[in-house]
Chain A
Amino acid sequence: MRDRLPGSQLIPLVTGAGLFALVTRAILSLPGESAGLSVRVTETAAENGISNVVTAVLLDFRGYDTLLEIAVLMLVTVAVFSLRETTMSPTPLSERPGPVLGALTRTVIPVMLLVAGHFVWIGSSRPGGAFQAGAVIGAAGILLALSGYSRPKWVGPRAISWVLSIGLLVFVGVAVYPVLLGEELLQYPAESRKALILVIEALLTLSIGASLVSLFIASASPRVQGDRE
């Protein structure tokens, strides 16, 4: 694979260099101190009992962004599924693990799950939250897949679809619930705010973790006859 001719690299080079110059100039022109929205966020978040301001922004003030972002993740999972050549079968990616790998996974996986649960629980006051926990669960699932464990027979495609969607569906449900009470979308009632956010985060964690694992497995499975040409 040869690289392109030097001439046709000139425009991208100029573009890249120009971008760098423009952006550097912009960055250097900014004042050294600027509060942005942080002051207002911190004050309002403190009133609501969520001391981790990032979680407050993600799930409360700008929860709509997070809702759409979960939609993005689910959309990509659906898209990757649609690109698969065959339906997902429970064949494992490799052989059953040997003694060392087996012992390792048996020790590490439960700890990972515990860490994920901790992240979800602690997310309202310390760094943590649904995405961090979901990433850990995703890693655990991928580790299992790579170690040769396969999906249990009783977990069918329908169940997988439910687990993948439950985060989004519950989020939409919680979002619409205030509308039935006469408030705006996503306007959690003050008394149940913390509880609702926790429920949303827990189920999001499940869906995010499942999505990450599914994205990996859907792309990694061995090819069966697939040519549609």
Chain B
Amino acid sequence: MTLVDHLPAALIMTPLAGAALTFVTRRRWDPALVMVTAVVITGLALALSVRVLAEGAFRYRLGGWGAPLGIDLVADGISALFVLLAAVVGLAATAYATSYFGTGDEDAYGRGLVWALWLFLWTALNALFLTGDVFNVYVCLELVGISAVALVTLGGGADALRAGARYLFASMLGAMTYLLGVALLYSATGHLDMATLGSAPTQGIAASTGLVLMVSALVLKTALVPVHFWLPTAHAAAPSPVSAVLSALVVKGSYYVILRLVLDVTYPGQLPGLDVTLGALGAASIVWGSVQALLQTRVKLLVAYSTVAQIGYLFVAIPLMRADGGIVGVAVTAAAAHAVSHGLAKAGFFLSAGSLQHRFGHDRISEMAGAARTTPVLAMACAVAGVTMMGLPPSGGFVAKWLLILTSINVGQWWWAAVMIAGGLLSAAYTFRLVAVFVAEGAGDPGDAHHPARTEWLPLLLASAAALLAFAIPQIDTLVRIGMNLGRAEVLP
């Protein structure tokens, strides 16, 4: 076996080893070490995508055993795409974080422990995106949840602690429910491997109950309305690079598992009403999240509610994926493209919100007038990120939403399209509201302290990447279809 064959394992072991080493050594060169690790992981992620594009999907049998006895890692198009998203956002957020966490007193950020937590989170995300075993998913979800909570509470104040505590309890509720679902599923089928579960019949009351519990738990963890209550405060109270990773990547983790369950483990019609329920809740999230975002007076809360809204699109895609009894490839591509473009845009948005907060000393929108004059790069980043999230052409977000709208009309479920268009209008409203304040006459920020250039350019880079993603949609489509069992093939218009 060559090194390339071991990519899935390397993607998980590298950040894990890095986390353990960072904890043990805890020296001045920690940020540099983490940066190097980030670059290495990004390279590995790129290599994995290239390998999957060239040679197709493959399974990595841990311990040499192979399912159903052992645990397999699965590297197909969707997992490679999500790992790549995590790598790009992670790399940018790490570069930003080395400036954010490095300033001021080390004591304020967990005495240098932040980097260990940071790398643990990355390990957890990669492990989650690559695993093929439903119980292993539970362990990965816990790993993700704990590192996310720990990073949220790093701020140290009572607000961060309270937000972190509510996040933790919601996370635990989800994890226990998920585990109960796995218990029922295994007791009914005798299998834990996703592919085996997909090909063996998973019928029966116990199996269906188990699956419903699992999906419900994942819905809680992805903050779908009405169980979204923990997300806005958690994402807003966290340090900005953490918020970026939370909104861009962590919520996508539990969504990824839902995708796996929907596409690989269950068959259409197995759980009647599930698809429609998820779609309806997604629609509610789009509307409720956008309306709440419009009402916020603080930037970070606005961005956090925007996440709730944009997640809704991902769930509206689910009934579209399994319309007509097969798997509609375009809908999956659209959902994946939306996840990626939102990830990039939201990361950029949160990083620029963080930089603005640093410069102004607060994050009250009404008092940020004139920011476009004093910090044009940051204002531009917010605007570009907003463009992709509201779905203006030409941007990655536009293509994704356009594909979803087209699909919903094609399969005859046009009502989703109506909601998505309404959502787009609402997103436009809150984005314009923000940009209008920036552009207005005002003093701008005090502009006293020195801020590293990368805190300005990184957000813009991310937001632009989200916009330029539009040109990469065909490649994304090709990648996503690798390893998918398509009942009905669709060609991109």
**A168–B187 Cα gap in the complex (Å)?**
31
Residue of A nearest to B60 (CB): A184
Q: Are the C-beta atoms of A82 and B68 separated by less than 8 Å?
A: no
How many Å from the CB of A172 to the closest CB on chain B? Answer: 6
Q: Which of B161-218 contact A (CB under 8 A)?
A: 180, 184, 186-188, 190-192, 204-206, 209-210, 212-213
Q: Are the C-beta atoms of B20 and A61 separated by less than 8 Å?
A: no
Given A30-B188, A79-B150, A229-B157, does the pair A179, B6 have CB atoms closer than 8 Å?
yes
**Using Cβ atoms and an 8 Å threshold, which residues of chain A touch B205?**
25-26, 29
Q: Are the C-beta atoms of A75 and B150 separated by less than 8 Å?
A: yes
Given A26-B184, A37-B191, does the pair A81, B113 have CB atoms closer than 8 Å?
yes
**A228–B117 Cα gap in the complex (Å)?**
21
**Using Cβ atoms and an 8 Å threshold, which residues of chain A touch B149?**
79
Given A34-B190, A79-B150, does the pair A184, B62 have CB atoms closer than 8 Å?
yes
Interface magnitude class on chain B: 35 or more
**A58–B455 Cα gap in the complex (Å)?**
45
Cross-chain contact of B20 among A37, A64, A172 (Cβ < 8 A): A172
Q: How many A-B residue pairs have CB under 8 A?
A: 162
Tell me whether A143 is interfacial, beta carbon within 8 Å: no
Cross-chain contact of B23 among A22, A29, A161, A229 (Cβ < 8 A): A161
User: Main SS of chain B's interface residues?
Assistant: helix
How many of A's residues come within 8 Å of B, CB to CB?
Answer: 54
Given A68-B136, A72-B146, A228-B157, does the pair A37, B209 have CB atoms closer than 8 Å?
no
Tell me whether A105 is interfacial, beta carbon within 8 Å: no
**Using Cβ atoms and an 8 Å threshold, which residues of chain B touch A124?**
none
| Complex interface bits, A193-229 against B, C-beta within 8 A gives 1, otherwise 0 | 0000000000000000000000000000000000011
**A135–B284 Cα gap in the complex (Å)?**
47
Q: Are the C-beta atoms of A72 and B143 separated by less than 8 Å?
A: yes
**Using Cβ atoms and an 8 Å threshold, which residues of chain A touch B17?**
169, 172
Given A25-B209, A26-B209, does the pair A75, B114 have CB atoms closer than 8 Å?
no
Q: Which of B67-91 contact A (CB under 8 A)?
A: 68-71
Q: Are the C-beta atoms of A26 and B210 separated by less than 8 Å?
A: yes
Q: List 7 A-B contacts (CB under 8 A).
A: A23-B209, A34-B190, A74-B20, A75-B143, A81-B113, A169-B17, A185-B6
A-contacting residues of B (Cβ < 8 Å)? 1, 6, 9, 13, 16-17, 19-21, 23-24, 26, 60-65, 68-71, 108, 110-111, 113-114, 116-117, 120, 123, 127, 135-136, 139-140, 142-143, 146-147, 149-150, 153-154, 156-158, 180, 184, 186-188, 190-192, 204-206, 209-210, 212-213
5 extra A-B contacts, CB within 8 A, seeds A22-B212, A78-B120: A62-B71, A64-B63, A75-B146, A168-B20, A187-B64
